[in-house]
Amino acid sequence: MIKILSHHSISLRKKPSCELSVPCQTALAPMQDVTGLPFMSVIARRGAPDFFFTEFFRVHKNSRLSPEILSSITRNPSTSPVFAQIIGENLMDVQRTIKDLKKYPIAGVDLNLGCPAPRVYKKNVGGGLLRDPDKIDKLLRLMRECLEGNLTVKMRIGFEDDRNFSEILSLIVKNKVNLLSLHVRTVKGGYKTPPQYEYVKKAVEYIGDRCPVLANGSIETAEDAVFLRKKLGTFGVMIGRAAIKNPWIFRQIRELEDGIPVFRPVREDFYDYCIELYKALERPQMEERKMVSRIKKFLNFIGPSIPDDIGFINGMRRSTTKGELFGVFEKYLTGNGLGELPVSFRPQFNS
Ligand SMILES: Cc1cc2nc3c(=O)[nH]c(=O)nc-3n(C[C@H](O)[C@H](O)[C@H](O)COP(=O)(O)O)c2cc1C
């Protein structure tokens, strides 16, 4: 089995998820066009999660491993292990892809059973597979045979409802999956429907002693993470969008659990974050206008964290050059003594 060197040196195979004496394990959720090497580097400097997952490697007849996604494995800027996520359904193509991935220092291979994009699920991959437990069984069996190390699954609770949820959990146990990340929505539920954490509780009850479970979906703050993890009895949490808004969140979770003062960023920290992110994303051959649009994907998430977000959001959306954009960062994040003002995040849950 591939050795996992997390901050807490936990082997996925040994620890049952319900052991609350073990620190809350954290993972950055895979996000296409976001969680590549540049963002990983920026996060790692602010407190890496225990686990990273790559954006998905597409698996089809003519697929080859994307060099850009591979760089987040080969140039991992942290000591946290990286799982390679794949999306596909053809058994021979999956087998070939796993063989290729095994040449790299991966923590394991993660099967995407959640992508809600219609062009994806219509091909019966990602979230589309949740309609077909038999196919999931075949895929997991093959992946288990191909992998000596960790086999992990990231799934939603179902396609349009939970009709296959229990059956898929039993397949996870049957095929000795080493870690389940559960996004608590259906595929049809997209990203905004209310998160249904009761399914995490069910998963922990059914399989938690055999497969660790990470809760995922709309965890907004470190306080939410610690509260939910205790309430649901999970191995830990997987966080996506809130880590773009607040790249210190993994560090804050550890500090909160350890009972030490929690780092609270001020606007100047956001200024540094935005500048560093721009530089990390910058490519010499990329046109400035394209570069500015590329970082806007991130800034759309960061904007609502900034008090007076409307000014920040409108300003950054209007910017077409690096100079204009950096001017917006200065105006809203450092100018006129703003830099010292705290930026707070509101927990969703009462702890
Ligand atoms: C921009 C974006 C891209 C995503 N790409 C992926 C992906 O490649 N693989 C995957 O399993 N999930 C993907 N997701 C889903 C996230 O991993 C996560 O499950 C979801 O955002 C819910 O977690 P959050 O509320 O903490 O963001 C993506 C989500 C977003 C917002």
Nearest-angstrom CA–CA distance, 174 and 154 = 16
Closest atom of ligand 1 to CA, residue 185 = 22
| Each residue's pLDDT tens digit, 39-82 | 999 999 999 999 999 999 999 999 999 999 999 999 999 999 99
pLDDT grade for 307, boundaries at 50, 70 and 90: confident
Q: Domain residues of the chain, as ranges?
A: 22-258, 267-340
Mean pLDDT in residue range 251-258:
97
Q: Is the pLDDT of residue 12 over 80?
A: no
pLDDT grade for 10, boundaries at 50, 70 and 90: very low
Pocket of ligand 1 (CB under 6 A): 29-32, 34, 55-56, 85, 112, 114-115, 154, 183, 191, 216-219, 239-242
| Each residue's pLDDT tens digit, 137-160 | 999 999 999 999 999 999 999 999
Q: Which of 26, 31, 54 gets mutated to test ligand 1 (max ligand atoms within 8 A of its CB)? A: 31
Question: Quick one: pLDDT at residue 11?
Answer: 54
Residue 102 Cα to ligand 1 middle (Å): 24
- Return the HEC string of 313-339: HHHHHHCCCHHHHHHHHHHHHHHHHHH
For domain 22-258, give the CATH number: 3.20.20.70
| Each residue's pLDDT tens digit, 30-40 | 999 999 999 99
Closest atom of ligand 1 to CA, residue 238 = 26
- Name which of 231, 232, 227 is nearest 257 in CA terms: 227
DSSP of 179-206, one letter per residue?
EEEEEEEESTTTTTSPP-THHHHHHHHH
Q: Is the pLDDT of residue 206 over 80?
A: yes
Q: Is the pLDDT of residue 308 over 90?
A: no
Mean pLDDT in residue range 249-276:
96
Q: Is the pLDDT of residue 225 over 50?
A: yes
Question: Quick one: pLDDT at residue 80?
Answer: 97
DSSP of 137-184, one letter per residue?
HHHHHHHHHH-SSEEEEEEEEESSSSTTHHHHHHHHHHTT-SEEEEEE
Nearest-angstrom CA–CA distance, 83 and 79 = 13
Q: Is the pLDDT of residue 191 over 70?
A: yes
Mean pLDDT in residue range 11-21:
49
Q: Is the pLDDT of residue 99 over 60?
A: yes
Of 11-20, 163-172, 199-208, the least confident: 11-20
| Each residue's pLDDT tens digit, 19-29 | 556 799 999 99
| Better-scored residue on pLDDT, 351 or 194 | 194
| Each residue's pLDDT tens digit, 325-347 | 999 999 999 988 889 888 888 88
Closest atom of ligand 1 to CA, residue 242 = 26
Question: Quick one: pLDDT at residue 306?
Answer: 84
Question: Quick one: pLDDT at residue 350?
Answer: 65
Q: Is the pLDDT of residue 7 over 80?
A: no
Rounded to two decimals, the pTM is 0.94
Average of per-residue pLDDT values in the chain: 93
Q: Which two tokens stand for residue 166?
A: 């229990």
Q: Is the pLDDT of residue 268 over 90?
A: yes
Mean pLDDT in residue range 227-252:
97
Closest atom of ligand 1 to CA, residue 56 = 8
Residue closest by Cα to atom 23 of ligand 1: 217
Question: Quick one: pLDDT at residue 17?
Answer: 41
Residue closest by Cα to atom 13 of ligand 1: 31
Residue closest by Cα to atom 15 of ligand 1: 31
Of 258-267, 295-304, 333-342, the least confident: 333-342
Question: Quick one: pLDDT at residue 338?
Answer: 87
Sign of torsion, CA 296 300 301 303?
Answer: positive
User: How much of the chain exceeds pLDDT 90, in percent?
Assistant: 86
Question: Quick one: pLDDT at residue 254?
Answer: 97
Question: Quick one: pLDDT at residue 208?
Answer: 95
Q: Which two tokens stand for residue 302?
A: 């960061």
Closest atom of ligand 1 to CA, residue 112 = 11
